[in-house]
């Protein structure tokens, strides 16, 4: 990561923090690429899905963005979060294998069905309250705007924003439980 790239990411992030959604999407896209590379280089023996960590890092960045000082470089901050979340993912996997493998031997032996995308959407949205689930699904999967979602669901825009924010928090929380 060169200094120019960092400066560009920092510029996008500053714009995002003052409410620019387009800049935020561009920033998160750039961060996702960095973190994906970071995780792929470090996950050598499998067991942890790099994209799961990428998503968890993106959510953490969103919910902890007030801990970034706007006059500082952004990549050290991003990598520190990525490192923390990756270690956490390894730790959870270790725990899960120790505890669960005997109980679920039969389930594990069944052939894996090829529906990763479906299962992931289900898993992320499953734990949400119905309203939050409709809002998050509308905005993320269907790509609807806040206004369109409000119209479609018969809610106010404020209610949609609140449900979206709570939904994202709940997804982040769920990731940590898995």
Partner 1 sequence: METKNLITAISSDAAAGRRSFGTLLRAAFVAASVIAAVVFSVVAGPRADFAAAAETWRFLLKFVVTLALVATSGAVAIALARPGARLGMRVALLAAAPAILLGAVLIELTTIAPSEWATRLVGTNNMVCLTLIPLIGLGPLAIFLVAMRQGAPTRPSLAGAACGLLAGGLAATLYAAHCFDDSPFFVATWYTLAIAILTVVGAIAGRYVLRW
For partner 1, the closer of residues 108 and 122 by Cβ is 122
For partner 1, the closer of residues 42 and 165 by Cβ is 165
Q: Which residues bind partner 1 (CB under 8 A)?
A: 16-17, 19-22, 24-25, 28-29, 32, 51, 54-55, 58-60, 62, 64, 66-69, 76-81, 83-84, 88, 117, 120-121, 124-125, 136, 139-141, 143, 145-146, 161, 164-165, 167-168, 176
Residue 121 CB-half CA count within 13 A: 11
For partner 1, the closer of residues 106 and 114 by Cβ is 114
Residue 108 Cβ vs partner 1, minimum distance, rounded to whole Å: 24
Token pair listed for 82: 């990525």
Residue 102 Cβ vs partner 1, minimum distance, rounded to whole Å: 27
Contacts of 150 (CB under 8 A, 6+ apart): 156, 157, 159, 160
Residue 103 Cβ vs partner 1, minimum distance, rounded to whole Å: 25
For partner 1, the closer of residues 72 and 108 by Cβ is 72
Residue 110 Cβ vs partner 1, minimum distance, rounded to whole Å: 24
Residue 59 Cβ vs partner 1, minimum distance, rounded to whole Å: 7
């Amino acid at each position: 990561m060169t200094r120019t790239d960092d400066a560009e990411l920092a510029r996008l992030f500053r714009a995002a923090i003052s409410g620019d959604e387009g800049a935020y999407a561009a920033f998160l896209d750039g961060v996702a690429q960095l973190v994906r590379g970071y995780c792929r280089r470090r996950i050598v023996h499998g067991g942890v899905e790099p994209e799961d960590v990428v998503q968890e890092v993106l959510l953490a960045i969103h919910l902890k963005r007030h801990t970034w000082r706007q006059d500082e470089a952004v990549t050290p901050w991003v990598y520190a979060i990525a490192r923390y979340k990756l270690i956490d993912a390894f730790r959870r996997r270790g725990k899960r294998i120790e505890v669960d493998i005997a109980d679920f031997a039969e389930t594990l032996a069944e052939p894996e069905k090829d529906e990763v995308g479906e299962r992931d959407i289900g898993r992320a949205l499953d734990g949400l309250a119905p309203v939050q689930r409709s809002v998050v699904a509308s905005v993320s999967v269907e790509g609807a705007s806040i206004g369109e979602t409000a119209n479609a669901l018969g809610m106010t825009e404020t209610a949609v924003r609140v449900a979206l924010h709570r939904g994202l928090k709940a997804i982040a929380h769920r990731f940590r439980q898995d």
